[in-house]
Amino acid sequence: MTVNSLIESDRAHWIHPVSSWHDHEQRGVTVLRSGKGVYLTDIEGNELLDGFAGLWCVNVGYGHDSIVEAAAEQMRRLAYATGYFSFGSEPAILLAQKLADRAPGDLKHVYFGLGGSDAVDSAIRLIRYYYNITGRPAKKHMIALERGYHGSSSTGAGLTGLPAFHLHFDAPAPMQHHIAPPYPYRSDAASDVELIARSVADLRAKVEELGAENVAAFFAEPVIGSGGVIVPPKGWLSAMQATCRELDILFVVDEVITGFGRTGPLFACEHEGVTPDFMTVAKGLTAGYAPMGAMFMSDRIYRAIADRSAGQPIGHGQTYSGHPVSAAVALEVLRLYEEGGLLANSQAVGAYFGERLKTLLDHPLVGDVRSLGLLAGVELVTSKTAKTRPDAALNLPGHLARIGYDNKVIFRAFGDGIVGFAPPLCITRDETDLLIERFRASLDELLTIKEIRDAVD
């Protein structure tokens, strides 16, 4: 098919995720064709440095033959094995074992799904089940952060704290609530300690308002991802865990982005020794080579459910739960993180990446730079002193994404002027320099647009 006919067919038939359908029709699709390492090549032959690892998922980089081999081998041997009727397959069992061995605390039980949204959905359903079966059916309310992202399932989208996921979707549900995020750049808290104390106080106040006996759980990402890569102060996650324990509500950590080396360690919980009751992962689990997500459940909760439900099927399942090909992919991806040196590289280059990003602070458009490992956000403003968000009418994110593409670099230009970076963990120092160089050039080029230049203080 020619490029133009692909664009026409796409326009006519493919509904793209989280997009303005109207604007996408006008713009047309950009067709990607191949990838190697940190580089993507589009159908016209342009080679682009992927500073966002697809959708913060291709943590190992593109084109790993060993993963292709693992998938092909498994497909040849046994393309599918159900997890229903007490069947299983070797790769899924091995993967569950390896993940449980590495997970924080007593997260010893793993439910496999297809991605992050259904991992969150599994947590929501099984938390309800847990409280019902343990005789506390009133505990139904769930709390999350404004700007948090927990997927777009019909229930998870309500925990997500982003307006686009609520508007016209009848979300959030009456049992879903949000508190303010720990947002250092936009907070007037005098110190990190105060910012953490405010989050703790907000959670307490919300639980008190609802009645602790009615609250089931608090959900949080260790670093807010889709809400603008907001890195909370060190100590925030453990303070929230302590508060949940004290208030007798479950603590669910959503590591869909932060898991698998994105912030340095295998799981971001490890930065603070946090041991949640539930943890959700996806993305880096298979590094995008096959769809898979997982929900970890603590041994305590698992036992409480298992021991009370003898003889009764727990009606939660999917045809592709524990898919053997995805599991075989995940096993090889895990090997690459550990034996292939990718975790070590993420830690080494992550620190360098953070330093290089800070050099952008002298740019007239850059208000804030924040990062943890190879996960970073750059917040663009039109006034550094007033921290003014770019006026939506300027369409700064749209211009920046286009200019970046022309400069052969991909990043995520969020609607409110925040730019997200999450390069593959195999990125080298030289590639990091190139990423920063191309991004700075793109920012400079933004200033050649008269309306944007005029808007800058």
Ligand X SMILES: Cc1ncc(COP(=O)(O)O)c(C=O)c1O
162 binds ligand X (CB under 6 A): no
Beta strands in 221-349 (DSSP E): 250-254, 278-281, 293-297
Which residue lies nearer to ligand X by CB, 251 or 431?
Answer: 251
Q: Provide the 10 A C-beta neighbour count for residue 156.
A: 27
Position among 217, 257, 342, 380 found at the interface with ligand X (CB under 6 A): 257
Does 59 bind ligand X (CB under 6 A)? Our answer is no
Q: Which of 226, 321, 371, 407 binds ligand X (CB under 6 A)?
A: 226
The residue within the footprint of ligand X, chosen from 50, 121, 202, 221 (CB under 6 A), is 221
Question: Which CB, 58 or 366, lies closer to ligand X?
Answer: 58
Candidate list 51, 172, 222, 225; residue touching ligand X; CB under 6 A = 225
β 375-380/366-372 pair status:
antiparallel
Residue 129 in tokens: 């089940």
Least separation in angstroms between CB 420 and ligand X: 10
Query: Whole-number minimum distance, CB 352 to ligand X, in Å?
Result: 25
**What number of chain residues touch ligand X (CB under 6 A)?**
15
Backbone angles phi, psi at 315, to 5 degrees: -75, 65
Distance (Å) of CA 364 to CA 320, 400, 436, 438: 49, 15, 16, 16
Residue nearest to ligand X (CB): 116
124 interacts with ligand X by CB under 6 A: no
Whether residue 56 contacts residue 424, with contact meaning beta carbons closer than 8 Å, is answered with no
* Side chain identity, residue 355: E
Q: Which is nearer to ligand X, 161 or 340 (CB)?
A: 161
Measured CA to CA, the distance from residue 122 to residue 132 in angstroms comes to 15
Neighbours of 32 (CB within 10 A): 16
Let me know how many helices (H) and strands (E) the chain has, helices first: 15, 15
Closer CB to ligand X, 54 or 390, in the complex = 54
- Residues in region 268-297 near ligand X by CB under 6 A: 282, 293
Q: What would the x/- binding string for ligand X be over residues 290 to 329, using CB under 6 A?
A: ---x------------------------------------
Q: Dihedral angle at the C-alpha atoms of 353, 354, 358, 364, nearest 10 degrees?
A: 70
Quote the least distance from Cβ 112 to ligand X, whole Å. Answer: 13
- What DSSP character marks residue 270? G
* 233 scored as a contact of ligand X (CB under 6 A): no
**In whole angstroms, how close is the CB of 122 to ligand X at the nearest point?**
12
Shortest distance in whole angstroms from residue 229 CB to ligand X: 11
Q: Which of 362, 383, 360 is nearest to 370 (CA)?
A: 360
Give how far Cα 445 sits from Cα of 407, 409, 415, Å.
Answer: 10, 13, 19
Distance separating alpha carbons of residues 354 and 357, to the nearest angstrom: 5
Q: Which of 35, 54, 104, 116 binds ligand X (CB under 6 A)?
A: 116
Show the CA angle centred on residue 288, arms to residues 282 and 290, nearest 5°: 90
Q: Which stretch binds ligand X (CB under 6 A): 22-30, 78-86, 125-133, 148-156?
A: 148-156
At closest approach, how far in Å is the CB of 160 from ligand X?
Answer: 8
Q: Is 121 in the site for ligand X (CB under 6 A)?
A: no
One-letter amino acid for residue 94 of the chain: L
Asked whether position 74 contacts ligand X by CB under 6 A, the answer is no
Closest by Cα among 128, 127, 158 to 144: 158
**For 176-323, where are the alpha helices, taking DSSP H only?**
192-210, 236-247, 299-308
Q: Closest approach of Cβ 441 to ligand X, in Å?
A: 28
Q: Is 120 in the site for ligand X (CB under 6 A)?
A: yes
Given the DSSP bridges, would you call strands 409-410 and 47-50 parallel, antiparallel or unpaired? parallel
Pull the structure tokens for residue 443: 């920012």
Of positions 52, 111, 149, 236, contacts ligand X by CB under 6 A:
149
Q: How far is the CB of 76 from ligand X (least distance, A)?
A: 27
Closer by beta carbon to ligand X, 64 or else 150: 150
Helix (H/G/I), strand (E/B), else coil: 216? strand
Phi, psi for 405 (deg, rounded to 5): -60, -45
Which of 35, 51, 83, 115 is close enough to bind ligand X by CB under 6 A? 115
Beta carbon nearer to ligand X, 74 or 226: 226
Per rule CB under 6 A, is residue 220 in the interface with ligand X? no
Q: Which is nearer to ligand X, 268 or 378 (CB)?
A: 268
Choose between 277 and 431: whose C-beta lies nearer to ligand X.
Answer: 277
Are 374 and 423 in contact by the 8 Å Cβ rule? The answer is yes
Q: With beta carbons less than 8 A apart as the criterion, state whether 48 and 42 touch.
A: yes
> Does residue number 117 form part of the binding site for ligand X (CB under 6 A)?
yes
Binds ligand X (CB under 6 A): choice among 150, 363, 370, 438: 150
Catalog residues that contact ligand X under the rule CB under 6 A. Answer: 115-117, 120, 149-151, 221, 225-226, 254, 256-257, 282, 293
